Structure 1
């Protein structure tokens, strides 16, 4: 597939305007078939639990009510609306609900990206970009709040870029998107930050006589967007909450999704990056200076943090679309839409087909969270012990919250903070064995619930005062028991020199 201009007949085809629909259908079907993959993250379980709490109490949390280590400390959920959505659909449809919601939201994101690009580029160019976006976002498509916010991000940045391409200020009709984004996920701060560089691009490329008024209009829009972002139950505190993530420091590289890009093994990101560089060199593609800076900024983010790969995949095409269209040819959108009645019938038929297919697949396939992060049997055994202070594996925190057991730590890393998380990681992985015993004593731990194959579990098997009371392939429970004796003195060979 090459980046080329399609002929007039293709551009005039009534089916061309339906490309976003077909992309959305394909993406949804693909993600639904891979539905269990969307439930591999343990955070999904505590997100649903928080959402149900919000529904039950008709309020949003302001202090921690889940852990025993941080109970009562200030904590807000900047993802409350997404959590409510997941909780509600889970209550209605079980685990099928979150899978369908996440798959549908992801499909809508790709369809929206396709719509934006197809208005500027040929079908082939659009499909190249969308395929790349799907490949890079796939590892991050999970039943979690950020997935519900991706389509909002694309619509928001797409609106800003469209205004910049026309050397105009954005429409204030974009502001409801910021309100929605601010209640769905903390990533809305990124949307606010992007206003400044995109505004600069618009102003620099505008006629000199229009620049002053354009600066004022962009400034007014930025101020309005900032105010819109505070339209949450937490007000401006939701904006400040993002600082806690930035303050995690040395904890970020310890979290898989926040680790820097690793080129030790060939992965899709490296293939896309090298392919993009090669294509740009081969075709002699040139970009305006500020678009280059925007693109380099997104690439830097993706290199520094794996989680940012989805941002690069979805936003880079929006930044590149207009400059590329001027060099490789754009789309002739005239006459590219089918008659409204025909489209309406088609959309209805597709919707019915997707609903039928979803129900049929859900009837023969039972969706469920990954068993490696859901120690079902171990937690059932733990509850029988009636213990309150349990030192748990980080990935078990979500299931513990969902099960009504107060964890030592869970996926709310920004809440626990850098030192707490790093200390726990060093203890559970025995990078600093003294840390394990210090935390066990400092927090008066009564039992541990760790992965059976973890270093800490293996060590406790041989430590006096800790008794193994349960073990399976997923998790092991050790209970503090003063009389437990496990140490066996090694035999001494008196003949050894």
Structure 2
């Protein structure tokens, strides 16, 4: 194998090993400057609304209190802590709060990734992985709960893999990370699932005589991690909540972020995947059996669900780092204790500059959500009608919650279930036109709020009993009005506004 060993003088230099700091600063500045991009998802608004509800009631939700179709039905928020943090940030600093919070979490994620990788790989190789991970995760880097959980995920998996590389059991100091992750986002279940295969990787690489004791220590850690994941207001129900997502079945492919990977056009995922295959073929890279299993498992998730691409981008490098270092070369980095005071002063100075720069930029730049796809004007008109039973487009649900209007459906798909979601999708898209009229009647719908270009909107334009009372480029409101008779394209009734 080829190992590049750094010179002692260079290794002792206080400037060695600062790559994670540089990566963190760059990523933070990048996303702060592009801050409004973090707010393009309207779900951010309802996440803040739920967080504020928790703060106001000093309790976490146990049932739905937002929709009129599922009101009172069991519902828990496995991301309650992230919602509270976003709500407090918003209450303190307006939209600057969630932007700064999300940018800091993203920066911490990539700084941690760089730190774990740079322990094994050269700085150049580490930067290649960081660049690829950044390209793959950008589409899903938004001010939403999963972003706050990302640095915890990297730290947790990095700790597991590092223990396996040392042929040891993980430190119990990792357990608080699992407890924190379980309160930030439901993705903590993945962290629990990875304990088993990483433990098996450690056992297979350990000497035969030590495997029994090592297996017992990994098993004890796994049980402790399971117990730590239950340290939430919901206890072990947080674990069970993941089953509702998996039980959505045919509903999942209908949601954009849950759709399988699409290679109809060349994108970052395909490019990175092809380059990775090319590298493996060119350099003859080989991996231990369980590392192959882990890598293929992450790849399968990314191919099956678009939202899992970020998991592949952040965790695959951790799985690959040590085996690659043994084959394509690494940089040995010695850590000098003599440099600690100088590094501490450097970190303090950088932190102060980042805080000052953040305040300066936030004072001259206005952060605000991207509203081009939200029914802002339509909801303003809708609220004037004082209606309680509105059939809405799926994408409008979060905006309605944030504006105090009870939706028919919203992004909490696990609450509504597979059949309800599929029926609504078939109705709004007119795949099954009878579904639309059945839902309008069964739920005694008083008005509809749908995208102006949707099939259901175009149909209601010509259906007796429904009158278009507002329309713009984004959304249209149809009011149930029994005396409305349509023989041609109806005009908007300005008096109904």
Q: Same fold (TM over 0.5)?
A: yes
Q: CA deviation at 1:72?
A: 0.3
Cα deviations by residue, 1:355-402 (Å, 9 ceiling, x for unpaired): 222223222322222213432221111111110000011111111111
1:7: how far off?
5.2
Q: Is this contact kept in 1: 2:391–2:445, CA < 8 A?
A: yes
| SS of the residue 1:334 aligns to | coil
Aligned pairs for 1:347-366 (under 5 A) are 347-366=347-366
Q: CA deviation at 1:338?
A: 7.4
Query: Following superposition of structure 1 onto structure 2, how do residues 7-86 of structure 1 map, counting pairs within 5 Å?
Result: 8=7, 11=11, 13-86=13-86
State the match for 1:127 in structure 2.
127
Q: Distance in 1 between matches of 2:212 and 2:257?
A: 42
CA contact (8 A) 2:182 2:188 kept: yes
CA shift, 1:316, in A, is 0.6
Unmatched tracts of structure 1, length 5 or more = 490-497
CA contact (8 A) 2:3 2:331 kept: no
Return the TM-score normalized by structure 1.
0.95
Structure-2 residue corresponding to 1:209: 209
The RMSD of aligned alpha carbons is 1.6
Regions of 4+ moved over 6 Å: none
**Could you say if the C-alpha distance between residues 318 and 464 of structure 1 is closer, same or farther in structure 2, counting changes exceeding 3 Å?**
same
Residues 1:319 and 2:307 aligned together:
no
* Residue 4 to residue 218, structure 1, CA distance change in 2 (3 Å): closer
Residues 1:58 and 1:271: Cα distance change in structure 2 (over 3 Å): same
Is 1:411 matched up with 2:373? no
User: Aligned-pair distance for 1:123?
Assistant: 0.3
Relative to structure 1, the CA distance from residue 203 to residue 487 in structure 2 (aligned partners, 3 Å threshold; closer, same or farther) is same
Determine the C-alpha separation between the residues in 1 that align with 2:382 and 2:39: 24
Cα shift at 1:13:
4.3
Q: Counterpart of 2:450 in 1: which secondary structure? A: strand
Partner of 2:276: 276
Asked if the contact 1:11–1:331 (Cα under 8 Å) also holds between the matched residues in 2, the reply is: no
The 1-side partners of 2:483 and 2:186 are apart by 49
Correspondence for 1:252: 252
Aligned residues: 487
Residue 332 of structure 2 aligns to a residue whose secondary structure is coil
1:89 match:
89
> Secondary structure of the equivalent of 1:478?
strand
Cα distance in 1 for partners of 2:357, 2:452 equals 39
Distance across 2 between alignment mates of 1:42 and 1:423 = 23
Q: How far did 1:259 drift?
A: 0.7
| Structure 2, unaligned runs of 5 or more | 490-497
Q: In the TM superposition, what are the counterparts of 1:289-438 in structure 2 within 5 Å?
A: 289-335=289-335, 339-438=339-438
User: Partner residue of 1:485?
Assistant: 485
1:51-75 Cα shifts (integer Å, max 9, x gaps): 0000001000000000000000000
Correspondence for 2:99: 99
The answer to whether the 8 A contact 1:461-1:467 is kept is yes
Cα deviation, residue 335, structure 1: 4.5
**Distance change (3 Å), C-alpha of 1:338 and 1:324:** farther
Q: Distance in 1 between matches of 2:226 and 2:114?
A: 28
Partners of 1:113 and 1:467 in 2: CA distance? 55
2:139 maps to what in 1?
139
Q: Hey, what does 1:224 align to over in structure 2?
A: 224
Quote the Cα distance in structure 1 between the aligned partners of 2:483 and 2:80: 46
Aligned to 2:494: none
Distance 1:480 1:127, change over 3 A: same
Deviation of residue 40 (structure 1)? Answer: 1.3
CA–CA distance in 2 between the matches of 1:364 and 1:4? 49
Residues 288 and 447 (structure 1), Cα distance of their counterparts in 2 relative to 1, 3 Å cut: same
Which TM-score applies when normalising by structure 2? 0.95
